[in-house]
Structure 1
């Protein structure tokens, strides 16, 4: 077994790039076109916006159960660095181990089915062999025997999977965040939220509680069935293509919000989109919450005229409380000024896919 990062022949696709320091992260033209732009209309208000997580348009981030894109190797290297600096970014309470095995099985089976050229899974009873070619991993282990893995099952598989994860235990008529890993989160903390109930960890979100959104979402999720996952979008803004915008590292990234000018805004300001998917797990009955982060600079987004017009209108007209919660109220006027140059005033049709002009 190897846990070293050896992209080898995958360098042409899973290229080397950084999400810190010199920030060499970028999206290829192909990846810009498949970016999950979160606005299907010219305004925005917080909503549950759940839909079934079923295979979507070919080439979109919905095509496969777990999207693997050109940033895979770089994101996994960045995750390993964050966990080396702060192991508390990954925690699992003792009763969540079975849920971790459920998640491991879900991810391994999905990736082996959807990306057979990169991942494979062989089963001989409880003796499994997992091969992750981009990361150079070839590992045989015993399913449900934690001693045969180098980490707990949730940490082992999520060190190889883009996106943050929480595992939520259902009891007392609500959900409890009792396990999680987060190295690409938008200003929230596993260490702070671990063990919290549904309403406790969603308490900071403005307006949504008054609208009853989280009450309805909880009612919906408590009925979530195994084999019928759901998904939704969420979004925020980030200066620089920085995955790790955690409260623990705010002194490093918070001051960058003061660095924007009209000259550098297109390069530095990034739209940060979360594709959030939820799965009911079969043995533990827990719910796995996958929070997959995508980043695109304003310069990259402006290459799609429909997105350029719509982003200007959303940022210009958003409720101030939401602009504050999403972390860009300070730079909102500068962003509106910069985006206005790309809004030609034409109407935009519903939908987010770029071909829907």
Structure 2
């Protein structure tokens, strides 16, 4: 677990998402639980990532939930899956961080201890009276990942529960209750190229306990974690001010945003759990790794217009490329 937040640490653990100079949508899944090396360091040795931002991001989640409780949704039939997700996350935390996290059976109940937060609690699985909050609210208050739970029925997956406070230009409150295919309906190219169907079929075949991961990316202005549809009035103008502002500011204001998404089939309920962890790195730090700066420029240069529009980077892509050309040692 990283306890410092130096620039070198942030760069070393950043999950740079581009293996080549061109980006197109793909399922890009791989088995989880192993470290991936980059030219700057490595990432991915744990399924739940706790780092120096732990307390700050938890506080930000608590603030967002207090202002907008709709970020947590759990349809009635998903209550067992929410308990399943909580216990699975506790087991994972205790396994990956044994020095600070403990989960043990205590008679008919469970004993949970989180030394990072001074939590020591005994609960009975399925008995809400033994928890201080709903299961997803309770456990998501102790991790940095967003959580979405997919129910599997009628030959489809349905996004019927979750807690999402750090969405990138989408709304979980709007999507809850939709099928997996409906949720991804607006994404360009993935239907005509059959990508979403392959992803859906892959998830349907996940066995209990199996876990995989994938990455996704976009660009974010001023390092905001919460760029959900609900808060667009607060951050939407940032794209314009960056595009119209001084080029010298782009390196510090424009961030490469990578999501590491873990996909886990829950053993008790059979639901599929998405863990979505967001990492942000300013262009100045990206460009400090020469291979990253040049590759990011190539990806942005090549990205089709429809994909740039869907990702919401039509305004910020061009100033980002100009800054990389000027400061990123990009060779044309």
TM-score, normalisation: structure 1 = 0.87
Q: Distance in 1 between matches of 2:45 and 2:160?
A: 30
**Is 2:331 the partner of 1:345?**
yes
**Is 2:168 the partner of 1:186?**
yes
Greater fraction helix: 2
**Is 2:247 the partner of 1:262?**
yes
Q: CA shift at 1:103, angstroms? A: 1.0
2:47–2:262 CA contact under 8 A, matched in 1: no
Q: Distance in 2 between matches of 1:249 and 1:212?
A: 32
Q: Distance in 2 between matches of 1:155 and 1:344?
A: 45
2:263–2:272 CA contact under 8 A, matched in 1: yes
Task: Describe how 1:129-140 pairs up with structure 2 within 5 A.
Answer: 129-140=111-122
2:264–2:273 CA contact under 8 A, matched in 1: yes
**Is 2:11 the partner of 1:32?**
yes
1:97–1:152 CA contact under 8 A, matched in 2: no
TM-score, normalisation: structure 2 = 0.94
- Which SS does the other structure have where 2:157 is aligned? strand
2:166–2:226 CA contact under 8 A, matched in 1: yes
Q: Distance in 2 between matches of 1:114 and 1:31?
A: 20
2:74 is matched with which residue: 85, 92, 112? 92
Q: CA shift at 1:262, angstroms? A: 0.6
1:43 is matched with which residue: 22, 32, 36? 22
Q: Distance in 1 between matches of 2:178 and 2:132?
A: 28
1:107–1:157 CA contact under 8 A, matched in 2: yes
Q: Which residue of 2 aligns with 1:287?
A: 272
Task: Describe how 1:199-214 pairs up with structure 2 within 5 A.
Answer: 199-214=181-196
1:13 is matched with which residue: 3, 16, 30? 3
Gaps of 5+ in 2: none
Number of aligned residues = 325
- Please give the per-residue CA displacement for 1:169-220, whole angstroms capped at 9, x wherever unaligned: 0001110000011111101112101110111111111111111111111111
- Please give the per-residue CA displacement for 1:298-337, whole angstroms capped at 9, x wherever unaligned: 1111121110110111111111111111111112221111
Q: Which residue of 2 aligns with 1:68?
A: 50
- Which SS does the other structure have where 1:330 is aligned? helix
Going from structure 1 to structure 2, the CA distance change for 1:264 and 1:52 (only over 3 Å counts) comes to same
Q: Which residue of 2 aligns with 1:6?
A: none
Q: CA shift at 1:27, angstroms? A: 5.6
Q: Distance in 2 between matches of 1:32 and 1:195?
A: 37
Task: Describe how 1:215-226 pairs up with structure 2 within 5 A.
Answer: 215-226=197-208
Q: Distance in 2 between matches of 1:284 and 1:294?
A: 30
- Which SS does the other structure have where 2:248 is aligned? coil
2:248–2:323 CA contact under 8 A, matched in 1: no
Q: Distance in 2 between matches of 1:135 and 1:28?
A: 25
**Is 2:129 the partner of 1:147?**
yes
**Is 2:35 the partner of 1:56?**
yes
Q: Distance in 2 between matches of 1:55 and 1:101?
A: 26
- Which SS does the other structure have where 1:168 is aligned? strand
1:206–1:321 CA contact under 8 A, matched in 2: yes
1:300 is matched with which residue: 269, 279, 285? 285
**Segments ≥4 residues shifted beyond 6 Å:** none
